[in-house]
Amino acid sequence: MSDVIVVEALVKHYGDVRAVDGVSFAVRRGEVFGILGPNGAGKTTALECIEGLTAPTSGRATVLGLDSQRDALKMKEQIGVQLQASAYFNYLKLREILELFGRFYRLRVDADALLAKVGLQEKANTVVNKLSGGQQQRFSIAATLVNDPQVIFLDEPTTGLDPQARHNLWEFIQRIHKEGRTIVLTTHYMEEAQALCDRVAIMDRGRIVALDSPDALVRNLESPYEVRFTVSGAAGATALASLPGVRGVREEGAGAFTLHTADTAETLPALLAWAAHHGARLVKLEVTAATLEDVFLKLTGRALRE
């Protein structure tokens, strides 16, 4: 699988602020690649440098083999970009906006076909400010597709949407990905990255602190699972820390415990045997897998949504 985006030692300063601080990564053809991190981590700035919208202080990025600065015009013919905030003509209808944008490119897609793709064909003669938030985001993505791009950049595409609209947009992103496009998106929603991305780069303070598939990042935690349970009798609770796979025990009170474990297949049978041995009846048992939020907290000590 070839790399369609290569980023090498990318740095961007704004005065004394190092918004992007030596970022390097590659994006494979046909994957959904996420850049994950809290607000102010440098996600948008890095994306703007890769898209050719901002000149880096140092380092370089190539997209489809084209330098994002030296070959910016040629590169932009082959990519689609959805900015974090978009502004459209107030009095032009959706069809008219797409037709206008299409004229900027040699290769373009029919406006009505694009509106049908995003489920807005019935809104073709409506202006943008009459659309709901979710519809506006879908139209914004439709606008990135006017030149039938091979690579699409989406900057926090679901920020501000309600849960239903967010999930609807996830489904649409998955559909356009299945058409063979490479997608790069930034987000500070860990569940969005887990739902959509083949791999994610976690950014903090301008640097990439981890890069892998969401599942691999979670598995690499020392204790990727929590086993929560309540028992009718807590005799022998000191032995819980020695159960196979257990890396930590937290007593929640009133016979409730949380075990941090590296291997639930080892820990659960041992826990049941412990309960039987001590005559303790398990009233409640719940197994929870760690998330990217836990990964980020482990790496940085901060929450993703700061």
Could you report the per-residue pLDDT of 183-196, keeping only the tens digit for each? 999 988 888 998 99
Tell me the pLDDT tens digit for each residue of 84-98. 777 788 889 999 999
Query: What residues contact residue 203 under an 8 Å CB cut-off, 6+ apart?
Result: 23, 35, 36, 37, 41, 42, 43, 46, 209
Write out pLDDT tens, residues 2-42. Answer: 899 999 999 999 998 999 999 999 999 999 999 998 888 89
Candidates 3.30.70, 1.10.10, 1.10.3470, 3.30.200; CATH matching 225-289 = 3.30.70
Q: Would you say residue 1 has pLDDT above 60?
A: no
For 86, counting Cβ atoms within 10 Å of its Cβ (0-12 exposed, 13-18 middle, 19+ buried), the class is middle
Nearest CA to 141 out of 167, 120, 164 is that of 120
- pLDDT at position 303: 66
- pLDDT over threshold 90, residue 174: yes
Coil, strand or helix at 173 = helix
Reference 66, options 83, 55, 51, 84; nearest CA is: 51
pLDDT of residue 71: 96
pLDDT of 63: 97
Mean pLDDT across 213-219: 91
Instruction: Give 257-284 pLDDT, tens digit per residue.
Output: 999 898 899 999 999 998 888 888 888 8
CA–CA separation, 252 and 229 (whole Å):
10
Cβ(200)–Cβ(217) below 8 Å: yes
Per-residue pLDDT band for 296 (boundaries 50, 70, 90) equals confident
Q: What are phi and psi of 33, to 5 degrees?
A: -110, 125
Rounded to two decimals, the pTM is 0.85
Using alpha carbons, select from 235, 236, 225 the residue that is nearest to residue 259.
Answer: 225
Q: Let me know if 104 is exposed, middle or buried by CB neighbors in 10 A (0-12, 13-18, 19+).
A: exposed
- Chain CA centroid to CA 20, Å: 18
Q: Is residue 234 predicted with pLDDT exceeding 70?
A: no
Q: Is 128 helix (H, G, I), strand (E, B) or coil?
A: helix
Residues of the chain with CATH 3.30.70: 225-289
**For the chain, what percent of residues have pLDDT higher than 70?**
97
Q: Within the chain, which residue ranges are assigned CATH 3.40.50.300?
A: 3-219
Least confident interval from 52-66, 128-142, 221-235: 221-235
Tokens read off for 279? 């005559």
Contact present, 57 and 13 (Cβ < 8 Å): yes
Q: Does domain 3-219 have CATH number 3.40.710.10?
A: no
Instruction: Provide the pLDDT for residue 236.
Output: 64
CA 132/CA 138 separation, integer angstroms: 10
Mean pLDDT on 105-126: 87
Q: Where are the alpha helices (DSSP H) in the chain?
A: 43-50, 72-76, 94-102, 111-117, 133-144, 163-178, 190-196, 214-219, 264-277, 292-300
DSSP state of 198: S
Q: What is the mean pLDDT of residues 212-221?
A: 91
If you average pLDDT over every residue of the chain, what do you get? 89
Report the distance separating Cα 86 and Cα 91, nearest Å. 15
What pLDDT sits at residue 233? 64
pLDDT digits (tens, 9 = 90+) for 132-158: 888 888 888 888 999 999 999 999 888
